[in-house]
Amino acid sequence: MSQDAYRLKRPDGTETELPVRKGTIGPDVIDIATLYRDHGVFTYDPGFVATGSCESDITFIDGEKGVLMYRGYPVEQLAAHSSFIEVSYLLLYGNLPTATELAEFDNMIRRHTMLNEGMLAFFKGFRYDAHPMAMLSAVVGSMSAYYHKEMDASNEEHRNIFAHRILAKLPTIAAAAYKLNTGQPFIYPRNDLNYCENLLHMLFAVPAEPYKIDPVAAEALDLLFILHADHEQNCSTSTVRMAGSSGANPYSAIAAGISALWGPAHGGANEAVLEMLEEIGDVSQIGKYVEKAKNKNDPFRLMGFGHRVYKNFDPRATIIRDMCHKVLQRLDRKDTPLFDLAQELEQVALKDDYFIEKNLYPNVDFYSGIIYKALGIPTSMFTVMFALGRSVGWAAHWREMISDPKGKIARPRQLYTGPAARDYTPINKR
């Protein structure tokens, strides 16, 4: 057997070899692209637990060691020294920008923040209590109607403008959805403010009085966006890649990603964590809820716990827990019952055999909702905030996917378990 091949035994006892490919770091992959053509079998891997769907240069995760790197830079270093806009440049273009490149990029994003007025009119069609994730997905999808003719995926400049528009306009759309829910007038973006200051301004300013931006809130949002910016082939990113692989308009592909993110097993978990903490209500109830989470016959799960890839700890959760502590202190919150409850719940679960055996640890969403709540952001907007951070990752992956010369339409196969061939029965004979 050659060194870089995997030996496969056929049912008739003969053997064949499948090529093995090596990444820069991380596990090798067995290249099975010719398996069906040469051997007549498919692979079966529901949920893609052992399947690499593409080659990617963007993000690396080592789930055993709790490592997350964007373009090779550890997320802890980026969280400590960088900004969301700089991280966005890094994810999109592969390297940290020079001072001039960063200034140009920042200026570009600031200058794309406004929405076409016609797009704003869409919001009049939603009910006052429409979920903001539904509005985000619908209005981002509608961007494909505005930017269709001028979106040629083979044109690099068009691909860049798409990424800039997604990054720049999503906060404006998110804020418009929030304003609809609150019954307040829409607030236009201010390009003199940085990314997170502008978001806070659009969310919380009202025409009747001046709004003072809290630098602690802007800093906390910036950190959360850095930590959410990308996470390799997660459910929503894979959705963006899959939808985009057919050559669909990329704004529609992002809308599909937003829909995938909304589920409680993915980005919707931050909303679910807060609801769960409020339901638990008091430390005296923790034991009861931990038992419910362990009970196979009870659908209750500890939201914000467990991860498909991290089996030791989620490095983002550690950073967010520290930030949560800082934000609550700096906002002078003496009374922090939800944070105290979350910390106690974490401690109880981490010492419990069930969670230890199954390698279940707090994930990125366990503490993020507590920060959002402290900043005055309502629960229904939590997953929207996640989407704002992840939007740049989606755009980076779409650009990578569409420029990959080996790219194909994503089209998995299946193990068919339905009826074998049978004859049509006329309706009067059934």
To ligand ACO, the closest distance from the beta carbon of 387 in angstroms equals 11
Residues 6+ away with beta carbon under 8 Å from 109: 85, 88, 164, 167, 168, 195
Instruction: Give the nearer residue to ligand ACO in terms of CB position, either 305 or 372.
Output: 305
Instruction: Give the nearer residue to ligand ACO in terms of CB position, either 206 or 265.
Output: 265
Task: Give the DSSP letter string of 220-277.
Answer: HHHHHHHHHS--TT-HHHHHHHHHHHTT--HHHHHHHHHHHHTSTTTTTHHHHHHHHH
To ligand ACO, the closest distance from the beta carbon of 359 in angstroms equals 8
To ligand ACO, the closest distance from the beta carbon of 370 in angstroms equals 14
Active-site residue set:
307, 365
Report the alpha-carbon distance of residue 140 to residue 173 in Å, rounded: 8
To ligand ACO, the closest distance from the beta carbon of 346 in angstroms equals 12
State the residue number with the nearest CB to ligand ACO: 306
**Where along the sequence are the contacts to ligand ACO (CB under 6 A)?**
47, 265-267, 269, 293, 301-308, 358, 360, 363-365
Report the alpha-carbon distance of residue 218 to residue 224 in Å, rounded: 10
Instruction: Give the nearer residue to ligand ACO in terms of CB position, either 63 or 407.
Output: 63
Read off the tokens for 272. Answer: 């679910």
Side-by-side strand order, sheet with 15-21: 5-9, 15-21, 29-30
Read off the tokens for 50. Answer: 């052992």
To ligand ACO, the closest distance from the beta carbon of 231 in angstroms equals 7
Instruction: Give the nearer residue to ligand ACO in terms of CB position, either 5 or 235.
Output: 235
Helix axes of 315-330 and 365-374: crossing angle, nearest 10 degrees: 20
Report the alpha-carbon distance of residue 112 to residue 233 in Å, rounded: 28
Instruction: Give the nearer residue to ligand ACO in terms of CB position, either 242 or 260.
Output: 260
Secondary structure class of 319 (helix, strand, coil): helix
